[in-house]
Chains A and B, each alone.
Chain A
Amino acid sequence: MPVMQFIEAVRETLRDEMRRDERVFVMGEDVGRRGGVFRATQGLIDEFGEERVIDTPLTESAIVGVGIGAALTGMRPVCEIQFADFIWPAMNQIISEAARMRYRSNGDWFVPMVIRAPFGGGVHGGLYHSQSVEAHFAHSPGLKIVVPSTPYDVRGLLRSAIRDDDPVLFFEHKGLYRAARGEVPEGDYTIPIGKADVKRDGTDITVFSYGKTLHFCLEAAEQVAHEGISAMVVDLRSLRPLDEETILRAAARTGKVLIVHEDNAFMGIGAEVAALIAERVLFELDAPVMRLCGPEIPAMPYSAPLEKAYMLSPEKVAAKMRELAAF
């Protein structure tokens, strides 16, 4: 099986889907000649032309709003928001329009669109190139939210997202673009949205995560394994819908749960996962549910030591795992 970088997986999937289905097109800022600021769309304009690889004006609300209109005609737009931090001008279009179109028209109109946005920190991006925004959207029924952590998952999930008849937010951790590599099978496989993935089995504690911190959890699990702690690591992958079945089964298996994400904790994805577990499998637990998340400050500072302090790491996760295992 070929080995691919995370960003190559994004690009090759876009290419495959555009070849497969004429209705698929990409648009966003700098997606054309430049190939996107992260180069996720590099080369697509050579193959598909500027009609299907559309450099838009610098207008997030219109990128999403125009995408909605195109989707209403049956096209399959894949809209790129250059950085998730700049998605706020499009918030109204995403929440009020894309998420509600099907509901408000009683099923008559729907929006088969994908919004891709690089998110996350640890790349010296400061306050406005580091944000995690997923919780703001996860609150809204009508949206699907996907956060892959491996090239394999990118390919399977991005295909599903593009073929989905509902709006999907596809958040790509920019710290994984070139750092995450992995085997990717040839051929047209998909991964259903709404399915978590047990990335490592274990018997002492269960750790839930997604995106870049998922990799920290896997590294930490290796570290603590040498100390005799067997950690199960579950990649949520899809934040809306959440895979309740897998979450509950994994929580019950070890009775000790840790939720790890880069986004701050308050009202975050971890809170939802914790509530779900408390409501449904409380008596299977042997310890209080723990969370390890970003700090409660508005956003990530630029200074190197401050950024380091903000970010999670395998060491921080391992320390929390030990605390949980010892409970």
Chain B
Amino acid sequence: MATRTGSRHGELGLTDERMLEMYYYMLLTRRLDERLWLLQRSGKIPFVISAQGQEGAQVGAAFALEKGVDWVVPYYRDLGTVLVMGMTPREVFLHAFAREGDPSSGGRQMAHHWSHRRWNIVSGSSPVATQVPHAVGIALGARMQGKNIVVLTALGEGSSNQGDFHEALNFAGVHKLPVIVHVQNNEYAISVPLRKQLACQNVADRAAGYGMPGVVVDGTDVLEVYRVFREAVARARRGEGPTLIESKNVRLTAHSSDDDDKTYRPREELEAARRRDPLATTRQYLYEAGLLDEAREKELEDRVRREIDEAAAWAEAQPHPSVESMFRHVYKEA
């Protein structure tokens, strides 16, 4: 299909089909996320930590990568990222229900600790920012093997105060490694607001200290995100080194299912955040571009709901890991 001139996505070289696919992934991420909350509130799963408000940043970024070739080292909110990179709703639910077939951890880790070897999605832990040096090392290892890959890693702005973040960016800068570090700024680290987290205005401002470009992008604008990540990916593939990208996002939920944000977050602020909801603005864009109307939107919503219903029911019916499995994979097995 030819790309259309005169539209924003067309100017970026995205076909109408691809643009709709972007929206599909944003919608899938949102509806899956909402379903996870329902399951948590009804006592079926113990824990949720949301991607809501960050779908634009995640899907836009992941669309700039080559699935199955490039690597991602995600953080707990990266539901949209891992879906685009190849994880299926069934697999997301297997992980959430901690079932035997969970490709992320075999039911060992808390939910939202994504991993999928087949898709180069690398297992993470719970201490924040530890994954950033891993991403840098993956880029180093791949370069030593002559593989032209790009590594995307992500974290929150609060986590960008950890030593590992600084150590890793400096390392990547010195060695000019093909890494993109995506700080998904949603203005809160649990309850701590931005002004108590950073002494500088933007996390991206720190990039100069590591000898790499620092880019600020509106994370609610999936096309703009795609544009800056595509540039960073091209830069990385040309061997010009790492990029630090900070997307400015909204957080539409509490930090996690264990948090109550009413204690620290004014309701008016949340209302304002909702007006910047990336799903709503992208939907609006599609209507204006003539790619979506009510009938087609309903069709898409129905399709996503069916997929989620099917996946959730299927995953819940899968067996729990056996107790014996607990003792496996401590070391390599003979």
- Residues on A lying within 8 angstroms of B by beta carbon are 25, 51-52, 54, 56-57, 59, 61-62, 64-75, 77, 89, 92-93, 96-97, 100-110, 141-142, 144, 164-166
Contacts and interface: CB of A to CB of B under 8 A. Distances in A.
Given A75-B140, A96-B127, A106-B108, 20 more contacts: A51-B144, A59-B171, A61-B163, A65-B130, A65-B137, A66-B137, A69-B135, A69-B139, A70-B141, A71-B141, A74-B141, A75-B144, A96-B130, A97-B134, A104-B115, A105-B117, A105-B123, A106-B102, A107-B328, A107-B329
A96 to B, nearest CB: 5
A92 B125 CA distance: 11
B122 interface: yes
B171 to A, nearest CB: 5
Given A62-B168, A102-B331, A142-B330, A68 B134 contact: yes
Contacts of B163: 61, 89
A84 B123 CA distance: 27
Interface string B128-155: 0010111111111110110100000000
B123 A109 contact: yes
Given A59-B171, A101-B123, A69 B108 contact: no
Contacts of B126: 96
Interface string B322-334: 0000001111110
B125 A100 contact: yes
B127 A69 contact: no
B15 interface: no
Nearest to B115: A105
Contact of B330 (A69, A108, A141): A141
A144 B138 CA distance: 23
Given A67-B137, A72-B122, A106 B106 contact: yes
Nearest to A99: B330
A296 B329 CA distance: 36
User: Which 3 interchain pairs have the tightest Cβ spacing?
Assistant: A69-B137, A65-B133, A106-B106
Q: Majority SS of interface residues in chain A?
A: mixed
B142 A73 contact: yes
B104 interface: yes
Interface string B148-190: 0000000000000001100110110011000000000000000
Contacts, number: 144
A167 to B, nearest CB: 10
B105 A105 contact: yes
B293 to A, nearest CB: 43
B171 A57 contact: yes
Contact of B117 (A59, A61, A108): A108
B9 interface: no
Contacts of B202: none
B164 A105 contact: no
B141 A75 contact: yes
Given A65-B164, A65-B168, A105 B138 contact: no
A93 to B, nearest CB: 6
A182 B113 CA distance: 49
Given A65-B130, A74-B145, A103-B330, A96 B164 contact: no
B109 interface: yes
Q: Which of A77, A101, A144 has its CB near the most chain B CB atoms (within 10 A)?
A: A101
A199 B136 CA distance: 43
9 contacts: A56-B171, A65-B168, A69-B73, A69-B133, A97-B125, A101-B123, A104-B115, A105-B106, A108-B103
Contacts of B109: 104
B133 A93 contact: yes
Contacts of A70: 137-138, 140-141, 144
Nearest to B109: A104
Contacts of A65: 130, 132-134, 136-137, 164, 167-168
Interface string B44-70: 000000000000000000000000000
Contacts of B133: 61-62, 64-66, 68-69, 93
Contacts of B142: 73
Given A102-B329, A142-B330, A72 B108 contact: no
Contacts of A101: 123
A237 B145 CA distance: 34
Contacts of A165: 332
A104 B233 CA distance: 29
A64 B167 CA distance: 11
Interface string B235-275: 00000000000000000000000000000000000000000
A144 B50 CA distance: 37
A102 B136 contact: no
A250 B171 CA distance: 48
Nearest to B143: A51
A93 B134 CA distance: 10
Contact of A92 (B113, B117, B130, B139): B130
